[in-house]
Structure 1
Amino acid sequence: MDVVGFAELLERGRRRGITLSAPQRPSFHHLIHVGSGALRHTVDFSDHTLTEGSWLWVRPRQVHRYFPDDLAAARGTIVIWQPGFPTTDPGQGPPHDPSPVLPTGPHARATRLALRHLTHEYADLASIPLDAHIETLRLLLSALLLRLAHARPEAPSPASADGPFRRFHDAVERDLCRTHRVGDYAAALGYSVRTLTRATRAATGSSAKQYLDARILLEAKRLLVHTEASSAEIAGRLGFADPGDFTKFFRVRDGRTPLEFRTVARGVG
């Protein structure tokens, strides 16, 4: 786990020769909080502007990029941790929802206090034994994440945490490179296609097939931007029997060929 300010992140990048404006796909969480100013950030090819008091949770394996000029002008904190460090992971809205959260009222004060307590404990390494220090950080981070999960206008419902859509989402994350058919997921999960479609539409506004195709497209974009694999190699990784089918799939949904997308998305602004 790490807690770092914007200015320190810039300095680390300079020392280590890391281009923060280039797309990154880390295997750990980034929780970004803007204390003052504004910060642009791109997550999975969607641009967001975080205003004062905003939070943005970037999940492992999502592709994101910083804007160094904004990091230099704004002030804020980034909490970084490995998956599994906190014992609870309440999520934010739909699975892996990258949209910023701007807590208001009592939520704003509570999240600020939670971050202040976490930051204080992170810096206070010597006053208690190391194992107690680590456990305290784990619990404080869990408290902060729970606060943020309920700071949205519509907090996640415990009743839907293990429903058909959540199970479909988890199955897609696990098997999207194996099958692109909603019927296969429905059969494996013990639901009808109609049930999955109804649950997915209620959770996301899209049909189950649209959700699955969008997730395949997103993974293709991540691989195009963050690897040097050819279009044909990416097609194979994603379970397309023919590279031409992958190119057609990508063009229909994005309007560009995979390599045209790669050229544009890798541009550093």
Structure 2
Amino acid sequence: MTDTAIPTHRLGGAQAMPTRVERIEPKTSAVKSTVHRHTFHELFFFARGSGTHMIDLETVVIETPCMHLVAPGQVHQLDRSRDTQGLVIMFTEEGGLSTEQHADLNDLFHVATAAPAFTISAAQFTEAAELVGAVERELMAPAGPMDRAVQGFLGVLLLKCAAWRRAALPPDMPALGAADPVRLFLRMVEREYLEHRQVAHYAGALAISADHLSDRVRKRLGRSASEVIQDRLMLEAKRLLLHADLSVKEVSHALHLEDPAYFNRVFKKATGLTPVEYRTHIREKYQR
């Protein structure tokens, strides 16, 4: 598994749907986190301050008030100024999100087509902070959190944030419905891209033909289904080449590609650079 090469954080807890809230408070100096990823979702709400947030291979400037999204598996690093203030809520999908809440999650974290950050108004930040505060108070209740209450507050937060997200999207980038085959395909690829590289596997699981799936994907994303699978594999390769101290052979094996020469050819075809050339270039860019 590739998460052994990059530190991976997990969210524990006694609730059916583990959830945690953290406040981003001013510090005496700037703060830069270590590179890591999570098995859970994170919503960052920044009220004031500045800095950058590297989410996968994109460096996002903190322009307050704003909201940043980090999906499970994404590699990120926050480099914030000492006066930065805000909050972050972390949660998993386990334990009973409704179909509608899953659709709201999809609208927020559809990383295949949208940027990982967008600005919000001061009023929207206040509204989000009130809902996150309600979750926080429930989590800290002396008698212990009520899972249904946590889920309820979180559901309203997702509903609000998804609406803000949709409003920030270009008009030609419609949100995907909860049962949209393209959405289901993207979720499956995220889980299974290391083991399954054939479009037919995903089409079979969705009970549609491979041609029909590819046609739906191309119309919605501008890429074929096979390109989506390949792009996901190359994203993981880029993450490992930048952040992990693995040889090219070890990266190849982590991606379940047993022939490093084949990995070199595929990677160069996709990026125009060999894995070694890409690592040199990207580490110079991020000074790693």
TM bracket (short chain): 0.7 to 0.9
Q: Does 1:66 align with 2:78?
A: yes
1:2 has 2:17 as partner: no
Task: Give the Cα–Cα distance (whole angstroms) in 2 for the partners of residues 31 and 218 of structure 1.
Answer: 22
Who is 1:194 aligned against?
Answer: 211
- Of Structure 1 and Structure 2, the greater helix share is in 1
Query: What does residue 167 of structure 1 align with?
Result: 184
Corresponding residue number in structure 2 for 1:209: 226
Correspondence for 2:268: 251
Contact 2:54 2:76 in 1 (8 A): yes
Select which of 124, 144, 158 maps to 1:130.
Answer: 144
Give the direction of change, closer, same or farther, for the CA distance of 1:28–1:263 in structure 2 (3 Å limit).
Answer: farther
1:46 and 2:58 aligned: yes
How well do the aligned residues superpose, as a CA RMSD in angstroms? 3.2
> Aligned partners of 1:187, 1:79: CA distance in 2, in Å?
36
Q: Determine helix, strand or coil for the equivalent of 1:79.
A: strand
Q: Deviations over 1:56-93 (max 9, x none)?
A: 110121001111xx332432222223443673342235
Normalising by the residue count of structure 2, what TM-score does the alignment of the two structures yield? 0.74
Distance 2:210 2:229 in 1: 13
1:84 counterpart (84, 94, 110): 94
* C-alpha deviation, 1:24, in angstroms: 1.4
Deviation readout 1:179-218 (Å, 9 max, x if unpaired):
3232443344332333122211232222222212111101
Contact 1:39 1:71 in 2 (8 A): yes
CA contact (8 A) 1:114 1:143 kept: no
Equivalent residue for 1:116? 130
Percent identity reads 25
CA contact (8 A) 2:70 2:109 kept: no
User: Residue 43 of structure 1 contacts residue 98 of structure 1 at CA under 8 Å; is this kept in 2?
Assistant: no
Question: May I ask how many residue pairs the two structures share in their alignment?
Answer: 255
Unaligned stretches of 5+ residues in structure 1: none
Of Structure 1 and Structure 2, which has the larger fraction of its residues in strand?
Answer: 2
Please list the CA deviations of residues 102-144 of structure 1 after superposition, one character each: whole Å capped at 9, or x if unmatched.
Answer: 345xxx6355223224225525766662133x54333222211
Q: 1: distance between equivalents of 2:139 and 2:75?
A: 32
Where structure 2 has 5 or more consecutive residues not aligned to the other structure, the ranges are 1-18
**Which residue does 1:34 correspond to in 2?**
46
Q: State the distance in 2 between where 1:239 and 1:125 align.
A: 40
Matched AA of 2:110: P
1:208-251, Cα deviation, whole Å (9 max, x unpaired): 22212111101222233444333223323323242111111112
Correspondence for 1:95: 110
